[in-house]
Structure 1
Amino acid sequence: MSRVARADAASVSSATFAPLENATFRAVWLAAQLSSLGWLFQTVAVSWLMATTSSSDVMVALVQASTTLPVFVLSLFAGAIADNFSRRHVMAIGWCVIALSSIMLTALVGLGLYNPWMILACSCLAGCGAAFTDPAWHASVGDILRKREVPAAVTLISVGYNAMRSVGPALGGIVVASFGPLTAFALATLTYVAMLWVIGLCKWSGRSSPLPREPLTTAIHDGARFTALSGEIKAAIARGTLFGMTSISILALLPLVARDQLGGGPIVYGVLMAGFGAGALCAGISNNALRRALSQERLTTLACISCAACCLALAFTPSIVVATIALTLGGAGWVVTWTGLDVSVQLSSPRWVVGRTLSIYSALASGGIAAGSWLWGVLAENYSLTLSLESSAGALLLVAATGLLLPIREWTESDQDSLDFETPQLALDLKSRSGPIVVKIEYVIPEANLEEFLDQMRERRRAQSRAGARHWNLQRDLQEPLQWTETFRTPTWMDYLRLNHRLTSVDKELDQRLRELHAGELPPRQRLAIERPTGAPHKPDQTTSFFFRR
């Protein structure tokens, strides 16, 4: 290897593992790997327990759905909580719920009181805990680390989980085969307790806001509005939902492949899962090098194709070796796709809303996974396992083609931290609930700058609306056609303050470009007013109209 090649390899390795230099991230990351191992023990034990308890292929496939459906239902609620409360505390609560699920499974199996529906109920409870831990943990990455380290950190999270996936299922299969599901559930409980202990020791905090905490319903609404107005996030969500729905056939049907097609038991299932995890691990370690060689969109397309090839191989091969090799390819495609989508959502989201955008993304992707688990299970039961895998392979090829309509953004570092905002001095004593507030910004735009001004205003509308502006519009004066007025409203004075605290450096750059297009002698003039109904019978108070000039 040449000196240049060795230097490039060292640079890639250094960039990948740089976040581990942070002691807090390192401790939580290591604990997360241990708890991931416990989660995989529990997953293998639950899947095999269901396969031996129920003869229904649908019930076996629903094990995957039972853990992902709660994420779909609860994630937006959990994301709003993660953005409004301590993310560390939210993580702790989520892991307590997951630990409770494993304790219940341990007790039910130990007492011999379980049935298929009880197994699904405990899996559902574990999914409820995961709905709270996942957005809080991923959003905490930006709190613990610098922004430029976030892509590497997200990759490390995927690499770590898939490193455990490469050994966890095999170890879990050995434990289940040698000692039974009871031991696997007990070991899983211990790993969850270890995670809770580390969370209790490590201290980190999110970026604090000088404003009061948002009401939960308002926080959910604001997160949904921001996501709906962000094209990059919507593209990532759509791709994640479609990919999850189609690719989950690999994992959802794998117990059936091991039992029916390969004639194996829990050890064979564990070996197959280890092959999947090994591919994911290799792809995660190589992720930085892959991104340097190919665009994120090209990587995602190739990943979908590799998962389709995995499905086809599993549909026809009677060989454990061939199936394991195919799963290595599928695992690589799995981690490349999810890492790319996760980072795209993270880097497109300001810190004030990142928990909610991640939760919406996670919810819809998990909804796709749950729907896919049910769909491929129904096809396998009513027709054949081979037809189900063939169909999912064809669907994955269609998902690969969606990049033409929904491209994924490239990983570029941008400053999404909120700006410092100085509250304006007002002539009236407003309460936080006073409103509605009307904001007007006046520009003087010469004809030569008009086309660029309108282009910038389209971006301005999206930026202000995502931050909380309502009824945004742009007006041109009929008597002085060079005079343009940007107008929007916020429901209350507190909402106006929140809007300004949510604007980022990227939004500030847009504001600066508009100032450069402005031809007036003074900067663009901003006026603040408060609406007051004229039909009120009582005496006017301090919520009458006023103006503030900047």
Structure 2
Amino acid sequence: MLAVVRVPWIIGVALVFSGLAWVGVLSILNAQMQVTAPEWVRARALAVYLTVCQGGLAIGAAVWGRAADAIGVRDALLVAAVVLVIGSLVGLFISVPDTSLDRSPSMHWPTPAMVLDPSASTGPVLVTVEYRVPADRADAFTDAMGAVGRSRLRTGALHWDLYQDGSQPDRYLELFTVASWEEHERQHGGRLTGYDRAAEEKARSLVDPEHRFTVSHYLPVHRDSG
């Protein structure tokens, strides 16, 4: 419209509707970010989103300004219109998938039973979980533990691994490290979601029911350099 029409009131009407659409898109994206991100990481997720969004606007302004200098304002607006049409058509066939993840907080980890009393800064903390898995469930278990590993890393773990005992193949050991005891307590106290709980339950449903999984917490031993 801006490229081909020279009637001011028609352009004004077009700008009103395009402005409403633009504000609507931004409002929807902002709202979706707030309801999609888990509570404990929502502020950081919004910060990344705004950085990408505002950065995209800045880069887009530079790109389209350069295009206008090179081919003229009218042709640049026509190219932009074509890109918008193509993007809209592509969106009809390739949309963002609905993950339907349960992002509600889930504090399903029990309080660690500790004899030692670590301070908040004690760390790194090594957490191990031992599982016994029948041979006929081994492949399904290792596949399910992939989601568990991503959950550990997403909620604060610095490193995660799953090992199989060479002498007892039904014995698996999950290990992950967290920067500090305070950081691990935050995993217990609100970082986990319903999705994380479902991932753990799926993996643990494959464990031998006669051998309950065992969780251990290891704290660093600091020795004097002398």
Q: Secondary structure at the match of 1:353?
A: helix
Q: Which residue of 2 aligns with 1:439?
A: 127
Q: Once the 2 structures are TM-superposed, how far is the Cα of residue 367 of structure 1 from its aligned partner? A: 0.7
Contact 1:415/1:505 (CA < 8 Å) preserved in 2? Answer: yes
Letter in 2 for 1:474: L
CA shift at 1:411, angstroms?
8.2
Once the two structures are superposed, the pairs formed by residues 73-472 of structure 1 within 5 Å of their partners are 313-327=1-15, 330-331=18-19, 333-335=21-23, 337-381=25-69, 383-397=71-85, 399-400=87-88, 407-410=95-98, 412=100, 414-419=102-107, 422-472=110-160
SS at 2:39 equivalent: coil
Q: Which runs of 4+ in 1 moved over 4 A?
A: 397-407
- 1:411/1:445 CA distance change after superposition, 3 Å: closer
Determine if the alignment matches structure 1 residue 508 to structure 2 residue 169. no
Q: Name the structure 2 match of 1:518.
A: 207
Relative to 1, partners in 2 of residues 1:439 and 1:377: Cα closer, same or farther, differing over 3 Å? same
Q: Distance between the aligned counterparts of 2:163 and 2:93, measured in 1?
A: 33
Letter in 1 for 2:182: M
Report the counterpart of residue 183 of structure 1 in structure 2. Answer: none
TM-score (norm: length of structure 2) = 0.83
CA distance in 1, matches of 2:116, 2:109: 20
Change in CA separation of 1:483 and 1:406 when aligned onto 2, cut-off 3 Å = farther
Which has the larger displacement, 339-348 or 364-373?
339-348
Contact 1:344 1:411 in 2 (8 A): no
- The alpha carbon displacement at 1:383 in A equals 4.2
**Larger helix percent:** 1
Where does residue 181 of structure 2 map in the other structure?
A: 493
CA distance in 2, matches of 1:328, 1:411: 34
Distance 1:523 1:496 in 2: 22
The one-letter amino acid of 1:509's match is A
Distance in 1 separating the partners of 2:123 and 2:181: 6
* Aligned partner letter, 2:67: L
Deviations, residues 279-300 of structure 1 (Å, cap 9, x unaligned): xxxxxxxxxxxxxxxxxxxxxx
1:482 corresponds to: 170
Deviation of 1:455 (Å):
2.8
| Separation in 1, partners of 2:179, 2:94 | 34
Determine if contact 2:37/2:103 at 8 Å carries over to the other structure: no
Question: What is the CA deviation profile of residues 257-313 of structure 1, one whole-angstrom value per residue up to 9, with x for unaligned ones?
Answer: xxxxxxxxxxxxxxxxxxxxxxxxxxxxxxxxxxxxxxxxxxxxxxxxxxxxxxxx2
CA-based RMSD: 3.0
**1:371-397: CA deviations, max 9, x gaps?**
222332343355422122123224334
Q: Distance in 1 between matches of 2:108 and 2:122?
A: 23
- Give the deviation of 1:405 after TM superposition: 11
User: Are 1:352 and 1:418, in contact at CA under 8 Å, matched by a contact in 2?
Assistant: no
Secondary structure of the residue aligned to 1:315 is coil
Taking only the aligned residue pairs, the percentage that are identical comes to: 27
Give the Å deviation of 1:470.
Answer: 1.3
Other structure's SS at 1:480 match: coil
Q: Tell me the distance in 1 between the aligned counterparts of 2:101 and 2:20.
A: 25
**1: CA distance, partners of 2:164 / 2:201:** 21
AA partner of residue 345 (structure 1): M
CA displacement 1:193-237 (0-9 Å, x = unmatched): xxxxxxxxxxxxxxxxxxxxxxxxxxxxxxxxxxxxxxxxxxxxx
Read off the aligned partner of 1:505 and give its amino acid letter. G
Unaligned runs of 5+ in 2: none
Length-normalised TM-score, structure 1? 0.37
Q: Contact conserved, 1:343 with 1:411, CA < 8 A, in 2?
A: no
SS in 1 for 2:161: strand
Q: Which residue of 2 aligns with 1:284?
A: none
Q: What secondary structure does 2:123 align onto?
A: coil
**Higher relative contact order structure (alpha carbons within 8 Å, sequence separation ≥ 6):** 2
C-alpha deviation, 1:492, in angstroms: 1.4
Q: Does 1:530 align with 2:194?
A: no
C-alpha distance in structure 2 between counterparts of 1:493 and 1:316, whole Å: 64
- 1:528 offset after TM fit, Å? 1.0
Q: Give the superposition deviation at 1:458.
A: 1.7
Paired AA for residue 219 in structure 2: I
- Structure 1 residue 357: Cα displacement: 0.3
Structure 1 distance, partners of 2:111, 2:77, is: 59
- Paired amino acid for 2:34: Q
Contact 1:347 1:411 in 2 (8 A): no
Alpha-carbon deviations, 1:294-353, whole Å to 9, x = none? Answer: xxxxxxxxxxxxxxxxxxx22111123442454355346435543443344223311111
Flag the structure with higher strand content.
Answer: 2
Three-state SS of the structure 2 residue aligned to 1:473 is: strand
Using the alignment, how far apart are the partners of 2:92 and 2:167 within structure 1? 46
Distance in 2 separating the partners of 1:407 and 1:342: 18
Query: What amino acid sits opposite 1:489 in the alignment?
Result: T
